[in-house]
Structure 1
Amino acid sequence: MSNLLPVADTAQVRRYARDLFRRYPRALTVAVGLHVLGALAGLVGPRLLGDLVEAIRNGEGVGVVDKLAALIAGFVVLQAILVRFAYLASARLGERVLARLREEFVDRVLALPLSTVEQAGSGDLLTRTTRDVDALSRCVRLAVPETMIALITVVLVVGALVVVTPVLAVSLLVAVPILVVGTRWYLRRAPAGYLKQNAAYSTVTDGLAETVEGARTVDALRRQRQRAERSDADLSKSWVAERYTLFLRMVWFPVVEAAYVLPVVATLVLGGWLYLRGTVSLGQLTAAVIYVQMLIDPLDRLLGWLDELQIGGASLARLLGVEDEARETVQAAATEEPVGTRIEVAGVRFSYVAGREVLHGIDLTLEPGERLAIVGPSGAGKSTLGRLLAGVHEPTGGTITVGGVPLGELPLDRLRREVALVSQEHHVFIGTVHDNVAMVRPGAAEEEVRAALAAVRALEWAEALPDGLGTVVGSGGQALTAAQAQQLALARLVLADPHTLVLDEATSLLDPRAARDLERSLAAVLHGRTVVAIAHRLFSAHDADRVAVVEDGRITELGSHDELVAANGPYAALWRSWHGERVPDPFDEEAATAIR
């Protein structure tokens, strides 16, 4: 199972929720004010109804009765109008709060280091951006305003009951011990239960995403049964987690439901006894019973939505956990500017898992404009070193600096203007061809985007699309070939204009003809830049300025091709082995020119 992203603690969640609503003081005041007025209008009815009972009992005239009945009807209409506008105000406030939260969350997600996402797994992040955001959306739009309304109503109803007949308000105390004990029991267990439930759901999503992404491999190796068993195991854990939260609700809900009924019974018994003794009037008793009855609905909504608030709180904690992880990256950003483009690697160590180092004390200096090839046997740490140089991972020991500034302290947008990784992986985003290229510089002019496409030999086919550069590509849009998708990625690099590129077999997954064409595009991107080529095929090492041989996580040789061949060390052995097993063909010669 992947290491899940962190989760914020309860204090952080409460502080963030308070701060979020405080950003809209006027909207919050209007919403609360309208709900208070609506609740007050609703409280007048029972008091007038008590007066109406007294008037009929005392034989008052028809005019008095009609007047009281008209007043009751008027306040009912007024309450309906106020409640309508109160709900509208709450909905507007909720949508504004939710929009702000979503925007901040997206900003933080985009600021997450790629290494963090890889370690956590895509399933956890996907669950947070979908299921947790949806749960929080329901909480903000419905649970928060409904809870606020219920609280206001409960406070005002209790206040009205105390004003009408303080002695009958004592009957409410019957429910207090039950509600307090039952709710405290629930709240001590619910947050952890819902966090565990959401984490289990992340594991399910992670497993399903992994199965879908590797569907061809699963089919080729006939591992369908194994993947199905993995999904069943994940679903079983999720079922256990959800069964626990269901158990909490099944205990808590019946307890609070019983607590609603007891005050009504106690009011009738106590009120009837006091009426017979002449302590309270029939009108007071009628109003008191109605007020106590009125408490059932807001209490039911309050405690019912409290469960939804626990779900929303758990979701918010998971979303804030992502923000905390991203905030650490943002706060670590250096304020000083790099001086020059020299990259220096000093004593760098790295491990994916604590206690198991992949790289051991790497020292290396890259001069501006240099071509460096990194070679070595499979599993030696070549790609890991390349990803460290590109800022994808941060070293667990030692430093990597560009222009004297630690690479890991550069803001992400600045980092990608310094160093970029070109791999065999590429992605076409949903949007136009223009937007796919300009995403690295949203303000780029049309001429700059066209120039970037032309530099990688992509402008011709891009203009030939149905709507030219305005053609929508990506999922559901115009289909692009693998070579065209890679050319879009290279055009982004031209527009971003980093001074250093790390190449990790950017064309290895393409067919020879497409790869040959793309190598020409790649040559345009590499011109005038510092290049680090992870050389799985040694023809690229032959034409590099220097070659670094990586074995068992260490650089064992460093020099030019001719120097290392003459030294008759590990590189010479690799060169003889590679050169003896295959005869260079025209494609190899053409590809080799890409890093010249």
Structure 2
Amino acid sequence: MMAGQPVEKSLNFIPSAKRLIGNLRPERTRVLVSLVLAVISVVTSVIAPLLIGRATDIIFAGVIGKNLPAGTTLDQVIEGLRADGQDGLAEVLQAQAVVPGMGIDFGALGALLLVVLALYVASSIFSWLQGYLLNDAVQQTVKRMRNEVELKLARLPLPYFDRQPRGELLSRVTNDIDNIQQTLQQTMSQLINSLLTLLGVLVMMIVISPILALVALITIPLSAILTKQIGKRSQRQFIAQWKHTGELNGQIEEAFSGHELVKVFGRHAEVEAEFEKTNQQLHDAAYRAQFISGTIMPSMMFIGNLNYVAIAVVGGLRIVSGALTLGDVQAFIQYTQRFTQPLTQVASMANLLQSGVASAERVFALLDADEQSPEPDPVGTAGPGRVEFEHVSFSYDPGRPLIEDLSLVAEPGQTVAIVGPTGAGKTTLVNLIMRFYELDSGRITLDGIDIATMPRRELRARIGMVLQDAWLFGGTIRDNIAYGNPGASEEEIRRAAEATYVDRFVHSLPDGYDTVIDEEASNISAGEKQLITIARAFIAAPSLLILDEATSSVDTRTELLVQQAMSALRSDRTSFVIAHRLSTIRDADLILVMDGGRIVEQGTHDELLAARGAYFELYNSQFTAAPADLEGAET
């Protein structure tokens, strides 16, 4: 069982368990029917030992009666035994239906055993049906929970994912839900049967002998106290186990994602040492958790054996006194074993229940996370693409302001280039346009409409975005291009590919546009991946275009070709271009120079060079500064 990092506080078992069971509410019909079937199954199985006890009495009476002289009555035999001083044997015979001279009544015995057989068969059938229905209810519940998590992930704001390690989040979504499924599937049916069996057996024990029932009940508080104490100790270890498992998942995901870098920089030893440390912590926590929780069952078995000895001694004394028959005590011993069995089963499920509820609590924490603001009503209008920032302020961390009181206007059809040093806030600016993050103050309007009043889906449908990190999914090249416009025809796909020079390299591939890109897109180059993402934006034909270092992964010759394609794509569209290569934005209508989250300069390429300010220094650092000058500047 694997899971993500748990909450830091102690596991809140009862509320989380109630909420987990509450998820079965849509399947209540199946659960109720399975509960009725479980009751019938338990009742039929609980009656059987009593009938077996009656069969034992028939055999005992037949064996004793056959050895008694025929023609005498039982009362005469008992009086004779008392006269001989055998009062104990007389009391035993008085409690039995012995007929002197008569052997075992095989007819009655056979009929009784057939009834017992029928009861056990019926119990098995009802138990199978109950398990079938309950399993279906559990699978439907887990399926619905997976859907809820998937929908929740779509509603979570981007900052939530920024704060969560990827491996830990994946572990919650996959491993924890699998653990919940395993817990419900293994414990629901068994727990219901165990509790019902416990109740049914208790009723039958009281019917047979209240005194023996009282002896059996003494073990219940002892078992409960023992289980509670062991459970408290194991609970802390389970929480530590999940914590270290989540950390290990994150380390593995990070190491495999950056496998090439680990190789290049020769950091195998450090990675292995970190892995070994976390793996040892996981081993220690898992060992302690399983060992401590594993002591519950043998402890319960020990208590059950003590209970069995006490019942045997007291029951033997009750037979000698004539208060009970041999069959009654035999049936009671069977009930005692069946009484301790569900207690042992419930106790043995304690670690599994704690594990499942711990996973459920982490999934519930994900489901309860704050969602992005509700979607407003659709605006339903599309304008020319005028974007205006009005006194916008934003920060990722409230204590560290990034963008403060920023105002700018991008007129329809303009190409606005954003340049500046790393960390200046360039990508943040376009992320705010996409509403990946919400503003601290101010507003951003698109064609005079505050984007905060627009549904995100409607806003983003009007925006095309090409990122520096090209992302492709497993599928054909044709599918990846058509991702920008699922309804695009084959001709439109070809036209977009030709405009962005994807068509140029596709024909060199064995399957052309049907070439399947693997999960890591390792069968095409980084530049080819970038071209496909540009084609994807091209086919979407957005009214607002955002290019975040869109040509960073292509060679110089391809960059020139792509720039021509981008010029065609940007025509009649408002475009925001983030660029580190200043050669790619010379023809921009407006260049914004950002530093520290503020616009320090703005103008055309020629205007900014003439001003000999921040842009002039950036430009010279790329095109005129010699390596020796740069080294001198660093010192």
Corresponding letter in the other structure for 1:536: H
Question: Could you give the per-residue CA deviations for residues 259-291 of structure 1, whole angstroms, max 9, x where no partner exists?
Answer: 333332332233333333333333322222111
User: Which of 205, 221, 227 is matched with 1:183 structurally?
Assistant: 227
Contact 1:21 1:97 in 2 (8 A): yes
- Secondary structure at the aligned position of 2:575 is classed as strand
Which 10-residue stretch deviates more, 426-435 or 50-59? 426-435
Report Cα offsets for 1:474-504 as digits up to 9, x if no partner.
2399933434433443344345554333222
Query: Hey, what's the Cα distance between the residues in 1 that align with 2:308 and 2:452?
Result: 65
Q: Which of 328, 335, 353 is the equivalent residue of 2:371?
A: 328
2: distance between equivalents of 1:560 and 1:5? Answer: 53
Distance 1:410 1:280, change over 3 A: farther
Question: Offset of 1:177 from its aligned partner?
Answer: 2.0
The equivalent residue for 1:24 is: 27
Query: Are the structure 2 counterparts of residues 268 and 411 from structure 1 closer, same or farther at C-alpha, using a change threshold of 3 Å?
Result: farther
Alignment of 1:279-290 (within 5 A): 279-290=323-334
Which residues of 2 match residues 473-492 of structure 1 at below 5 A? 473-475=517-519, 479-492=523-536
1:49 and 2:45 aligned: no
Counterparts of 2:359 and 2:182, CA distance in 1: 11
Q: 1:392 to 1:477 in 2, by over 3 A?
A: closer
Partner of 1:590: none
Between the aligned partners of 2:177 and 2:19, the Cα distance in structure 1 is: 16
Which of 616, 619, 635 lines up with 1:572 in the alignment?
616
Share of identical aligned residues, percent?
29
Once the two structures are TM-superposed, the CA of residue 369 in structure 1 deviates from its matched residue by 3.1
Give 2:379's match in structure 1, choosing from 325, 334, 337: 337
Kept after mapping to 2: 8 A contact 1:5/1:322: no
Secondary structure of 1:328's partner? coil
Please give the residue correspondences for 1:435-474 in structure 2 after superposition, counting only pairs within 5 Å: 435-439=479-483, 453=497, 456-458=500-502, 472-474=516-518
Match in the other structure for 2:253: 209
CA 1:445–1:24: 2 relative to 1, 3 Å: farther
Q: What pairs with 1:493-572 in structure 2 (closer than 5 Å)?
A: 493-494=537-538, 496-572=540-616
Contact 2:234 2:288 (C-alpha < 8 Å) held by counterparts: no
- Mapped contact 2:24–2:138 kept (Cα < 8 A): no
> Which 10-residue stretch deviates more, 63-72 or 405-414?
405-414
- Asked if 1 retains the 8 angstrom alpha-carbon contact of 2:172 and 2:363, the reply is yes
* Deviates further, 503-512 or 399-408: 399-408
Is 2:218 the counterpart of 1:218? Answer: no
> Deviation at 1:75?
1.8
Aligned residue among 170, 190, 195 for 1:126: 170
Structure 1 residues 473 and 570: CA distance shift in structure 2, 3 A = closer
Matched, 1:86 2:89: no
Shift of 1:383: 2.8
Larger of the two Rg values belongs to structure = 2
Q: Distance in 1 between the 2:289 and 2:421 partners?
A: 51
SS of corresponding position for 1:550:
strand
TM-score under structure 1 normalisation?
A: 0.85
Contact 2:582 2:619 in 1 (8 A): yes
Letter in 2 for 1:257: M
Task: Return the offset for 1:21.
Answer: 0.8
Report the secondary structure of 2:545's partner residue: strand
Mapped partners of 2:506, 2:34: distance in 1: 52
Post-superposition CA distance 1:61-91 (Å, at most 9, x none): 2111111111112222222222223222222
The alignment's TM-score, normalised by the length of structure 2, stands at 0.80
* Residues 97, 140 of structure 1: 8 Å contact kept: no
- Whether the aligned pair in 2 keeps the contact of 1:158 and 1:169 (CA below 8 Å) is yes
For the residues of structure 1 that align with 2:230 and 2:278, how far apart are their CA atoms? 26
Structure 2 residue 331 is matched with structure 1 residue 249: no
Of the three residues 288, 300, 307, the one matched with 2:351 is 307
Contact 1:348 1:396 in 2 (8 A): yes
**Could you tell me how far 1:312 is from its partner in structure 2?**
1.4
* Match of residue 71 from structure 2: none
Shift in alpha-carbon separation, 1:220–1:417, aligned structure 2, 3 A: same
Which sections of structure 2, spanning at least 5 residues, go unmatched? 63-103, 627-635
Q: CA RMSD in A?
A: 3.4
How far apart are 1:515 and its partner, in Å? 3.6
Answer whether contact 1:4 1:120 (CA < 8 A) is retained: no
Q: Report if the CA contact (8 A) 2:296-2:347 is conserved.
A: no
Match of 1:239 in 2: 283
Deviation track 1:412-452 (CA, whole Å, cap 9, x = no partner) reads: 54453244542121232223445434556666666765665
Query: Is residue 413 of structure 2 the alignment partner of residue 369 of structure 1?
Result: yes
In 2: Cα distance, 1:579 partner to 1:465 partner? 37
For residues 496 and 156 of structure 1, the distance between their equivalents in structure 2, rounded to whole angstroms, comes to 68
Post-superposition shift, 1:113?
3.5
* Distance in 1 separating the partners of 2:180 and 2:445: 41
> Equivalent of 2:361, from 317, 320, 324?
317
Q: Could you say if the C-alpha distance between residues 344 and 182 of structure 1 is closer, same or farther in structure 2, counting changes exceeding 3 Å? A: farther
Residue equivalent to 1:135: 179
**CA apart distance, 1:188:** 4.2
